[in-house]
Amino acid sequence: MLRIINLESAGTLLERNNARLDEALQVVTPIIADVRKRGDAALRQYAKQFDNFEGTSFEVATQGELSGEL
C-alpha cells in the first residue's frame, strides 16, 4: 500500500535526508582528503580502523579469479 505524503511531510523528509547527507559528508570528506594525500598508508589505516583489516595488499581478483560462490 502506498502512503500519501502531503507537501509539508515531504519537506520534512527532504530536510531530514539533507541533514543525514551533511553529517556523512562531514565524516567522509576528511577521509577522502587524507587518502588523496597519503595514499595506501591512509587506506591501510582506515581499513584497520573501520574493517579490522590488517592485510598488506588491497589487490582485488579479476573476474576470472572470482569464486563461483560469490
The answer to which of 7-11, 17-21, 46-50 has the lowest mean pLDDT is 7-11
User: Does 63 fall in a domain?
Assistant: no
Task: Answer whether residue 13 is part of any domain.
Answer: yes
Burial 17-42 (b: 16+ CB within 10 A, else e): eeeeeeeeeeeeeeeeeeeeeeeeeb
CB 31 within 8 A of CB 46: yes
- Tell me the C-alpha distance between 65 and 23, whole Å: 38
Nearest to 32 by CA among 22, 19, 46: 46
The more confidently predicted of residues 11 and 22 is 22
The answer on pLDDT for 19 being more than 80 is no
Query: Residue 20: its pLDDT value, please?
Result: 81
- Global model pTM greater than 0.85: no
Domain count, the chain: 1
The answer to whether position 67 is within a domain reads: no
In this predicted model, what pLDDT tens digit does every residue of 25-70 receive, in sequence order?
Answer: 999 999 999 999 999 999 999 999 999 998 878 777 676 666 666 5
Segments forming the whole domain that contains residue 32 = 8-55
